[in-house]
Structure 1
Amino acid sequence: MEEVKAVTKYVRISPFKLRSPVEAVKGKRVEEALNLLKFMPLKAAGIISKTLKSAVANAEHNNEMDIDTLIVKNIVVDQGPSLKRFRARARGRGARILKRTSHITVTVAETV
């Protein structure tokens, strides 16, 4: 069983927010997974959907796999570098704000 993956890096959304729609999609057929993500009211769902479509395109173009037999094997969300910002606070102080980024890896495979 051959696996194909697609990686999206430095997405400006926290990994915590990206992980919630991932569990709903793992192990499902690609068509069903894309349908689920399409109707989720989350920013994260759109980002994961884009990466999944890229993995499917890689499988079709580079490895000549049949799209109808593909399943979502795994989706991994890792933390990327954080952008550090400051916000003014009382008495001349500054509070650190972390703007987190994420790396997404989607793996698809053919069902036997």
Structure 2
Amino acid sequence: MSKALLRYIRLSPTKARLIAREVQGMNAELAIASLEFTPNKAAKLISKVIASAVANGGYDAQDVIVTSCRVDAGPVLRRFMPRAKGRATPIRKPTAHILVEVGTQKVQAKKVESKSKDSKVADSKNTEAKSAKKPAPKAKATQKAPAAKVESKEDKPKTAPKASAAKNTTAKKKTEGEEK
């Protein structure tokens, strides 16, 4: 894996990050080719940094991929523009640092395989832990319904819900049946 770093570039880091996200994980040759035809100042600079990282590692651009492309904020140049009535408004001229890392595809494949093995082991542990924590499903216990409340006519609301009205009528029928 090799790196290249371009520092103090007169470029907005937020605009450069948009381009940097596009090339992460791409083949270096494909990334350089696509960036050459992108009409953006950041695209041309990032393609040069990718080419430099490939050359620093002594690789061929076809054999490597861009593992990470990071754009950090550099110092901001502050200028002032004179305005009306003796005022001055600030002008911010941001700078950026571009860091590109490239690596061979074989190394990336090994990393992906090891991560997938680790994730499978972690997944199996998580499922075992969840099954151990989860109690066995219990049979539904029959719960006794609370005894129906007999209310006087004064306590009853004028419009009772249908469900409670059904309970009251069944309770009345039971009490009437018991009395007879």
Tell me whether the two structures share a fold, i.e. TM-score over 0.5: yes
Unaligned 5+ segments in structure 1 are none
Higher mean C-alpha deviation, range 88-97 or range 6-15: 88-97
1:96 aligns with 2:90: yes
Which amino acid in the other structure matches residue 26 of structure 1? Answer: Q
1:27 matched to which residue of 2? 25
Which amino acid in the other structure matches residue 97 of structure 2? Answer: H
Tell me which of 49, 64, 71 is aligned to 1:70: 64
Instruction: Name which one, 1 or 2, has greater alpha-carbon Rg.
Output: 2
1:49 matched to which residue of 2? 47
Give the TM-score, by structure 2 length: 0.57
Tell me which of 70, 73, 80 is aligned to 1:79: 73
Question: Secondary structure of 1:23's match?
Answer: helix
Per-residue CA deviation, residues 19-54 of structure 1 (Å, 9 max, x unaligned), is 111122110111111111011111110010111111
Report the structure, 1 or 2, having the larger strand content: 1
Say if 1:27 and 1:16 are closer, same or farther in 2 by CA, change over 3 A: same
CA RMSD of aligned residues (A): 1.0
Measure, in 1, the Cα distance between the counterparts of 2:41 and 2:94.
15
Unaligned 5+ segments in structure 2 are 107-180
Per-residue CA deviation, residues 88-111 of structure 1 (Å, 9 max, x unaligned), is 112101111110000000000111
Return structure 1 stretches of 4+ with deviation > 2 angstroms: 65-68
Tell me which of 32, 37, 40 is aligned to 2:38: 40
Question: Secondary structure of 2:89's match?
Answer: strand
Question: Secondary structure of 1:68's match?
Answer: coil
Asked whether the equivalents of residues 5 and 99 of structure 2 are also in contact (C-alpha less than 8 Å), the reply is yes
More contact order relative to length (CA 8 Å, sep ≥ 6): 1
- What's the offset of the Cα at 1:17? 1.4
Which amino acid in the other structure matches residue 43 of structure 2? Answer: A
Give the TM-score, by structure 1 length: 0.90
1:4 matched to which residue of 2? 2
2:135 matched to which residue of 1? none
Report the structure, 1 or 2, having the larger helix content: 2
Equivalenced residues, count: 106
